[in-house]
Amino acid sequence: MITEATTPSQPRPPLGRKAARPLSALAGVAVVGLIAAACGSSTPTAKSNTTTTAASPAGATGSGSAGATVADAKSNATIGSSILVNSSGMTLYKFSADTAGMSACSGTCATAWPPLTVASGTTPKGGSGASGTFGTITRSDGTLQVTHNGDPLYTFSGDTSAGATNGQNLTVNGGTWTVVTVGSSSTKATTPVTKTPATTKPASGGGYGY
């Protein structure tokens, strides 16, 4: 028998090595993608923090504003003069027991006679006709009380309507409460009294004898 010589076939390279290159390449791309994704996600987070920590609008805390009108002048028939009233039309009073720059009314007294106060940083002023000098003093509780010509100002809990003056000339809490007037007081008309000129009666003389 004739035997044909056969060329031994070369062994084929293992399939695992050919596949290893594409897999390693894919793994590298995946790593790069993850890094890029991580970097990209940090940018929106920073912007979000900036937005949420934005400063609040000015005045949001309710602080006072300069030049606030705290009192007006209103004509009052009971008092017979123009008087000071607050922004709600309630009569304003002063207390004789107060001293310069000091209020003698606190505790239960201040409940009956609420002080006229303003927020910190407010410069009080009077409205039309409310002449005089307005200022503030610091009370024992730290609040700012409005003053007029140096006198601390109060309202009265017994006044239930605008323009009422039930606290006028009340003596309580160690002093007298009076309505704060502005301008000149009105005068009631009076009928002038006409005095009759004094007359002298002629002296009665005795008869003359001739």
Q: What is the pLDDT of residue 101?
A: 84
For residues 118 and 122, what is the distance between their CA atoms, to the nearest angstrom?
Answer: 6
Distance of CA 184 to the CA centre of its chain: 32
The pLDDT of residue 79: 97
Looking at residue 11, what is its pLDDT? Answer: 54
Domain ranges of the chain: 68-182
Torsion 158-122-147-162 (CA) sign: negative
pLDDT attached to residue 15: 52
* Pairs from 149-152 (Cβ < 8 Å, separation ≥ 24): 150/100, 150/101, 151/94, 151/95, 151/98, 151/180, 152/94, 152/95, 152/98, 152/103, 152/105, 152/115
Q: Is the pTM of this model over 0.75?
A: no
The pLDDT profile of the chain, 210 residues, written as one tens digit per residue, is 444 544 455 555 555 454 445 444 444 444 444 434 444 443 333 332 222 222 222 222 234 457 899 999 999 999 999 999 999 999 999 999 999 889 999 999 999 999 999 999 999 999 989 999 999 999 999 999 999 999 999 999 999 999 999 999 999 999 999 999 998 654 333 333 344 444 444 444 444 444
The torsion angles phi and psi of 42, rounded to 5 degrees, stand at -75, -30
The two tokens of residue 152 are 């601390």
Residue 10 has a pLDDT of 54
Sign of CA dihedral 157, 158, 164, 168: negative
Return the H-helix or E-strand segment holding 90. none
DSSP letter, residue 154: B
Pick the closest to residue 95 from 173, 159, 8, 26 (CA basis): 173
